[in-house]
Amino acid sequence: MSTSSGYVQKTADSVPGFAAYLPERVRRSLSMLDLNTLDALLEVRLRLCRPVILVLEDGERLLGHRGLCRPGEEAICFTREMRDEALQLLTDRSLYAAEEQLKSGYLTVAGGHRVGVVGRAVTSGGTVESIADVSSINLRVARDAKGCSAAVLPRLLGGPLGVYRSLIFSPPGCGKTTLLRDLARRLSDGIGSKKPFRVAIVDERSELAGCYCGVPQRDVGMRTDVLDRVPKAVGIMMVIRAMSPQVIVTDELGRPEDVDAVEECLNAGVALLASAHAGSIEELIRRPALAAMLSRGLFDRYVRLSDRPRVGTVAEILEADEVAEIGKVVQLGPEARRSASVDCQRAHSW
């Protein structure tokens, strides 16, 4: 089954929000960009002693002193002073308070924007203690795509729990997190005349709700509780005990310990919406932890996303028995796979 709808809505409203975290010179130049460019802005990449690069929907451009770099014009160079200024602004003038977050290599700032930070890792006993001498900063501009789950949601509603246990999968950058967030919001706020659900988000990397100082920066619904920055396997058990949710939403399953947590969740009568990295069902089956979940029948629906023709395209929605069939074929080998002629051409644009 395929459904389609372009769902990446662009707003320039978030620009002043994220620009406040950038050094003054970059901020000033960004303010000179036209609205269309700001709409298309996905990332701001700051690399020490190198030019500032803007990642737009249609490619990368250098940032000049007065907006985008024109031919022959010098780009803004990201200096050490600018790095120190950016680090202060990104950490609310308190790098010491963000050291714990920085160990994971990223920060979440107000507005839900995610900031990747790399430099010299200070390690002790094989674990990262802190990041020193920061060399690159990547600010990913957060965008909401409200309503992006409209086409897929009806296929996920039903069953004894009211919501089918569903796994959304795709390669990175195809919109899994965005779709999960919108599903959480819709289920939490209520869909038409249907009763709303108590939703809990287990947000290991602060991507789904983008919590900042305990407040979700993204609209995840009025009946949604967020457990932030906790490993999924632990977090799922915690929210079941603490918040008695009807639906748990979590991102990027794939570790061995996730299997038991997902099983526990389903045995507790709680629906689960989760995501995983995989380009196809075959790839999903080749990942041991996910294969274990598939073989135990932990999910009722499998939603595959694609970035073609655009990010967020629902390529197919498969039911558990269809996936089981594919699983058998995959285990039989390539010859049988060809003869089974799995229909992978069902992708349509939303």
Using CB under 8 A, list all residues that contact another protein. Answer: 19-21, 24, 27, 84-85, 87-89, 91-97, 99-100, 110, 130
Report the candidate in 302, 262, 8 with the shortest Cα–Cα distance to residue 152: 302
Distance CA 71, CA 96 (A): 41
Please identify, using beta-carbon distances, which residue of 95 and 291 lies nearer to another protein: 95
Dihedral pair phi/psi, residue 260, rounded to 5°: -65, -40
In whole angstroms, the minimum distance from the beta carbon of 85 to another protein comes to 6
Tell me the C-alpha to C-alpha distance, in Å, between residue 248 and each of 178, 231, 240. 16, 14, 8
Is 144 in contact with 9 (CB distance < 8 Å)?
yes
| Shortest distance, position 204 Cβ to another protein, whole Å | 19
What's the min distance (Å) between Cβ of 251 and another protein?
Answer: 24
In the complex, the smallest distance separating the C-beta of residue 91 from another protein, rounded to whole angstroms, is 7
Residue 128 or 332: which CB sits closer to another protein? Answer: 128
Q: Which is nearer to another protein, 94 or 127 (CB)?
A: 94
CB of 21 to another protein, least distance (A): 8
Kindly provide the b/e burial profile for residues 306-323, where b requires at least 16 CB atoms within 10 angstroms of the residue's own CB.
Answer: beeebbbbbbbbbebebb
| Least distance in angstroms from the C-beta of 120 to another protein | 13
In the complex, minimum distance from the CB of residue 79 to another protein, in angstroms, rounded to a whole number: 14
Half-sphere exposure of 335 (CA within 13 A, CB side): 1
Nearer to another protein, 73 or 133 (CB): 133
- DSSP codes, 45-99: EEETTSB-EEEETTEEEEEETTEEPPTTPPBPB--HHHHHHHHHHHTTT-GGGGH
2 vs 136, beta carbon nearer another protein: 136
Tokens, residue 179: 């779709």
Q: Which is nearer to another protein, 23 or 245 (CB)?
A: 23
Length of the chain equals 350
What's the CA gap between 188 and 246, in Å, rounded?
10
Of 60 and 81, the one with the shorter C-beta distance to another protein is 81
